[in-house]
Amino acid sequence: MSIRYFIPDWDDRVDPGYDFRTDQHTPDRDPYRDDHYAHQIYSTPPYDGILLSRAVIDNAGKKFSALVDLGSVHTYLRFPKPHKILGDCGAFSYWEADIPPYTTRDMVDFYDRLDFDYGVSVDHLIFAHDDAERRRRQELTLSNAAEFLKEHNGECQFEPIGVAQGWNPESYRESIKKLIQMEYGYLALGGLVRSTTAQIIAILQEIKSELRSNTQLHLFGVNRPEHIETFANLRVTSFDSASRLRRAWMDGRRNYFLGNTAFSAIRVPDAHRLARQQETIDEAEAQRLERMALSALQAYGADKDATNLEEVLTVVLAYAELAGEVTERTRHDYRETLARRPWNYCDCSICKAVNVEVLIFRGNNRNRRRGFHNTWQLYRQLHGHTQEIPPPLNGAAAPEQHALGL
Q: What is the pLDDT of residues 154-193, one digit of tens each?
A: 999 999 999 999 999 999 999 999 999 999 999 999 999 9
Residue 332 counted as domain residue: yes
Whether 269 and 335 share a structural domain: yes
Whether 183 and 199 share a structural domain: yes
Domain boundary residue, one of 226, 241, 256: 241
Whether 261 and 296 share a structural domain: yes
Q: Do 195 and 125 contact (CB within 8 A), yes or no?
A: no
Domain boundary residue, one of 209, 225, 241: 241
Whether 199 and 71 share a structural domain: yes
Which residue type, as a one-letter code, is found at position 206? E
Other Cβ atoms closer than 10 A to 321: 12
Domain that holds residue 272: 247-382
Answer positive or negative: Cα dihedral of 151, 155, 156, 159.
Answer: positive
Residue 358 counted as domain residue: yes
Q: Do 189 and 164 contact (CB within 8 A), yes or no?
A: yes
Question: Could you tell me which residues come within 8 angstroms of residue 357 by beta carbon, excluding any fewer than 6 positions away?
Answer: 20, 298, 301, 366, 369
Residue 403 counted as domain residue: no
Average pLDDT over residues 9-29: 96
pLDDT of 320 over the 90 cut? yes
Cα dihedral 240/246/247/251 (nearest 10)? -130
Which residue type, as a one-letter code, is found at position 3? I
Total domains in the chain come to 2
pLDDT band at 225 (very low <50, low <70, confident <90, very high): confident
pTM of the model: 0.93
Domain boundary residue, one of 207, 241, 275: 241
Whether 109 and 93 share a structural domain: yes
Whether 226 and 262 share a structural domain: no
Whether 235 and 254 share a structural domain: no
CATH code at position 118: 3.20.20.105
Average pLDDT over residues 240-245: 95
pLDDT of 405 over the 50 cut? no
Whether 230 and 286 share a structural domain: no
Whether 177 and 113 share a structural domain: yes
pLDDT in the model for residue 288: 97
Instruction: State how far the Cα of 80 lies from the Cα of 62, in Å rounded to an integer.
Output: 22
Whether 269 and 233 share a structural domain: no
Catalytic residues: 88, 240
